[in-house]
């Protein structure tokens, strides 16, 4: 098999990502500072794999110097994490900052910069303060939108001089989809209107935070965006009914955020369908203007797997509340390649197809792959005699995805970087430490000690040489 060298463009950012709640642990948090994730875990730790959760996580709060040093050694261009809103603020109404937390984030940011790693900061990776859920119904409340904007402003004021990349949200669609549409997660409600209001309010909150950021002029090189988990959506067939199913899926799970965040307008078709099903959210013209005038300056996309859909085969149960799947069913392509640990299809061409979509339909806006990666169960079985995890599958996964991305860049895509999920293994929602994602292992049997995996050494080489080698030919890649 012939191998080919794939070169990274000159200023291409090759980094890694994580979030506050998945790494930090509760150390340093005051009693009232629970986040949504914390109360979800506390509600029933048994639902979390082997009982692990955010309690200690990777103990990043105590070990970040060690981790940042490793990032520096590997030569990461950038590291993305979040600020935990519930930790950072001590009075959520006035947005009074918690000095201990502010000091910790300050030191983390400085340490990253000192080690040559560009910090990228996300303002919400599901870390809504739990008390705001209890008191106001969380993101369903416009008051919470205002409190978020006050919190965001404090972050900009404290770190905007040094942080050049801010993101308002990570995957803002996820919590309400799982909790209020699918009802598979805490607080286990089924309420489509609430889910839709949460989505709309987050779009509004993002636009308001962007407005505030622009007004503040914190850094002449600074940019602000949002991170979306847009899925490349393929219909089962080219038949009209399947294509329509894919279009509606795309509307509800992609365009609902992508259109307002990048183009400043909510899709008309979406508003019509919601009205038809009596699930419209509440909005005002003034809010729509704010959304219109405050689109993102950079877009982050988390890309893991495609969505494949078909028209429904079965009738809808009319006694259940409206769910977008009224119009589609998920479709499993026979023969597809799978990551069985996570249950996600592996289809690296999504990088290219998404890049082309952003180029052709979204004004070729500057964007980054803010997450892509491979979570694998029982990775300890891949250790060599020196105890180093031989994760060749991860190297293959990253290479294959990266080269599709590079092909898109050659064809004019404005993608500026690729951030692997994740730098170290960390806690997944409910799956906890089941599937390992890191370039660096967290050894739970050995005091959470860190050990670079084979993929970590490989990443280091790619970062140093600015190229990697991969098979010259696979059936679809031309
Ligand atoms: C993304 C999230 O959806 O995927 C992360 O931003 C998450 O928080 C990652 O951990 C991997 O998914 P999971 O469910 O395997 O952790």
* Tens digits of residue pLDDT in 316-340: 999 999 999 999 999 999 999 999 9
Ligand 1 neighbourhood includes 375 CB (under 6 angstroms):
yes
* Closest to 351 (Cα-Cα) out of 398, 401, 301, 302: 401
The pLDDT mean for the chain works out to 97
Whole-number Å distance, alpha carbon 122 to ligand 1 midpoint, is 14
How far apart CA 64 and CA 52 sit, in angstroms, is 20
With 0.75 as the threshold, say if the pTM is over it.
Answer: yes
Atom 2 of ligand 1 has which residue's CA nearest to it? Answer: 171
Whole-number Å distance, alpha carbon 61 to ligand 1 midpoint, is 20
The residue whose two tokens read 């996309």 is: 301
Atom 7 of ligand 1 has which residue's CA nearest to it? Answer: 428
Ligand 1 neighbourhood includes 431 CB (under 6 angstroms):
yes
Q: Where does the pLDDT of residue 76 fall: very low under 50, low under 70, confident under 90, or very high at 90 and above?
A: very high
CB 304 within 8 A of CB 286: no
171 in catalytic set: yes
233 membership: H or E segment, kind and range: strand 233-235
Residue 472, pLDDT above cutoff 90:
no
Ligand 1 neighbourhood includes 300 CB (under 6 angstroms):
no
CB atoms within 10 A of CB 267: 18
Residue 478, pLDDT above cutoff 70:
no
Residue 231, pLDDT above cutoff 70:
yes
- Mean pLDDT for 158-185 is 97
The residue whose two tokens read 């078709």 is: 269
Ligand 1 neighbourhood includes 171 CB (under 6 angstroms):
yes
Q: Which of 171, 231, 379, 441 does the annotation list as catalytic?
A: 171
- Mean pLDDT for 151-177 is 98
Ligand 1 neighbourhood includes 201 CB (under 6 angstroms):
no
Ligand 1 neighbourhood includes 435 CB (under 6 angstroms):
yes
371 in catalytic set: yes
* Percent of the chain whose predicted confidence (pLDDT) is above 90: 97
């Amino acid at each position: 098999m012939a191998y080919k060298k794939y070169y990274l463009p000159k200023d291409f950012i090759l980094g890694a990502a994580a979030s506050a709640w998945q790494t930090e642990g509760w150390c340093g948090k005051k009693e009232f500072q629970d986040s949504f994730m914390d109360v979800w875990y506390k509600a029933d730790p048994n639902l979390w794999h082997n009982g692990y959760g955010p309690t200690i996580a990777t103990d990043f709060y105590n070990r970040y110097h060690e981790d940042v040093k490793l990032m520096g050694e590997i030569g990461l261009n950038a590291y993305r994490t979040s600020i935990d809103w519930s930790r950072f603020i001590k009075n959520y109404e006035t947005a009074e900052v918690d000095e201990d937390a502010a000091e910790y984030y300050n030191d983390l940011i400085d340490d990253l910069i000192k080690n040559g790693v560009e910090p990228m900061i996300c303002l919400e990776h599901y870390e809504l303060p739990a008390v705001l859920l209890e008191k106001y119904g969380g993101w369903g409340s416009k008051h919470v939108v205002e409190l978020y904007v006050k919190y965001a402003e404090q972050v900009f004021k404290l770190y905007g001089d040094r942080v050049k990349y801010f993101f308002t949200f990570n995957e803002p669609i996820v919590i309400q989809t799982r909790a209020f549409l699918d009802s598979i997660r805490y607080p286990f409600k089924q309420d489509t209107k609430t889910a839709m209001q949460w989505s709309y309010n987050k779009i509004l909150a993002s636009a308001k935070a962007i407005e505030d950021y622009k007004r503040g002029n914190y850094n002449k090189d600074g940019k602000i965006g949002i991170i979306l988990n847009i899925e490349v959506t393929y219909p089962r067939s080219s038949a009209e009914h399947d294509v329509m199913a894919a279009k509606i899926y795309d509307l509800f799970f992609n365009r609902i955020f992508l259109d307002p965040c990048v183009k400043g307008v909510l899709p008309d078709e979406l508003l019509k369908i919601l009205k038809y099903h009596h699930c419209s959210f509440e909005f005002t013209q003034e809010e729509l203007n704010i959304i219109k005038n405050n689109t993102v300056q950079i877009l982050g996309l988390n890309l893991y797997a495609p969505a494949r859909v078909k028209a429904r085969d079965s009738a809808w149960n009319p006694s259940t509340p409206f769910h977008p799947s009224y119009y589609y069913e998920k479709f499993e392509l026979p023969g597809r390649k799978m990551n069985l640990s996570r249950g996600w299809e592996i289809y690296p061409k999504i990088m290219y197809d998404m890049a082309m979509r952003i180029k052709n339909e979204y004004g070729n806006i500057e964007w980054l792959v803010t997450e892509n990666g491979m979570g694998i169960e029982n990775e300890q079985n891949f250790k060599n005699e020196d105890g180093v995890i031989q994760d060749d599958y991860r190297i293959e996964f990253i290479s294959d995805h990266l080269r599709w991305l590079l092909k898109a860049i050659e064809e004019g895509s404005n993608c500026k970087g690729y951030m692997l999920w994740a730098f170290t293994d960390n806690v997944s929602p409910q799956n906890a430490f089941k599937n390992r994602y890191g370039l660096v292992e967290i050894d739970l049997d050995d005091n959470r000690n860190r050990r670079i995996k084979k993929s970590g050494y490989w990443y280091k080489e790619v970062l140093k040489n600015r190229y990697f080698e991969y098979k010259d030919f696979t059936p679809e890649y031309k």
